[in-house]
Amino acid sequence: DAGVIQSPRHEVTEMGQEVTLRCKPISGHNSLFWYRQTMMRGLELLIYFNNNVPIDDSGMPEDRFSAKMPNASFSTLKIQPSEPRDSAVYFCASGTDGEQYFGPGTRLTVT
């Protein structure tokens, strides 16, 4: 298996622009997670899906963030409009409970 796949790996955008991050989980994993990692706040869970259904989005910072999972093999995290404080590494992971497998991450820089 190729593991969790994320795209793009790097994204540089200007404040106010829309950003869409993409994720393909490991086949057969029913749960998908979006995390954000920064030096200041560490690794934070933003939202997770179980069987394509959003279960807990309490970590989503604000309404500018939205996530979808239209099918078992694809999820998106969208930021609109983006702000400089959104600059971080965004990880997608799939797995179950304490055993999660992370993708390589998307390093987002908002200028």
Partner 1 sequence: GQSLEQPSEVTAVEGAIVQINCTYQTSGFYGLSWYQQHDGGAPTFLSYNALDGLEETGRFSSFLSRSDSYGYLLLQELQMKDSASYFCAVLTGANNLFFGTGTRLTVIP
28 binds partner 1, rule: CB under 8 A = no
H helical segments located in the chain:
none
CA pseudo-torsion sign 11, 15, 17, 20:
positive
Distance of closest approach, residue 84 Cβ to partner 1, in angstroms? 21
Distance separating alpha carbons of residues 34 and 76, to the nearest angstrom: 9
Distance separating alpha carbons of residues 70 and 72, to the nearest angstrom: 7
Site string for partner 1, 37-66 (x = CB under 8 A): -----xxxx--x-x----xx----------
Distance of closest approach, residue 16 Cβ to partner 1, in angstroms? 28
In the set 11, 21, 29, 33, which binds partner 1 (CB under 8 A)? 33
Count of residues engaged in binding partner 1, rule: CB under 8 A:
23
Sequence-ordered list of residues with C-beta below 8 angstroms from that of 101, at least 6 positions apart, any chain:
3, 4, 26, 29, 93, 94, 95
Which positions lie near partner 1, rule CB under 8 A? 31, 33, 42-45, 48, 50, 55-56, 91, 93, 95-105
